[in-house]
Amino acid sequence: MIEDDFYATIKLKNGEEIFAKVAASEEDERTMLIVSNPVVIGEIKVQSNMVGYKIEPWLKTTKDDMFFINLDDVLTMSESSDIEMIMMYQEFIHHAQQPQKGNSAKISKKMGYVSNINDAKELLEKLFNLKYKPE
């Protein structure tokens, strides 16, 4: 029997902390969590007193989006009703499921100075020699 799904933060016994859409399932006298699109959310300092979040897939080497976790491997779990966290999660999942088009950006002068390696090296050496000119 599968219970209704909900958003939750799960702390595993191995120390990992994941955020996912979760459903519980009773099978063969044990409880399993079915986690959909689990992510790791990290806090990063954007400026001196501002904090942002970095969202990454929990497992980076698979394209699977559903995993089973034995409840015995869970240290604690907290259901989330934080709308901002849920919206960030949904936005990340939405973008992750979009087909990747490759690098379609075209290089232009609007992006900054465009040069080849030799020209850039020569320019940097000239700037260095002007600043640190031996006397």
Residue range(s) defining the domain that contains residue 86? 6-96
Residue 90 counted as domain residue = yes
Q: What is the pTM of this model?
A: 0.67
Residue 114 counted as domain residue = no
CATH number at residue 14: 2.30.30.100
pLDDT (tens, 9 = 90+) of the chain, 135 residues, equals 556 899 999 999 999 999 999 998 888 888 899 999 999 998 888 777 788 888 999 998 988 899 999 999 999 999 999 898 899 999 988 888 777 666 566 666 676 666 778 887 888 888 878 777 665
Q: How many domains does the chain have?
A: 1
Count CB atoms within 10 A of the CB of residue 89.
21
Helix and strand counts by DSSP (H, E) for the chain: 2, 6
Residue 73's closest CA among 9, 13, 11? 13
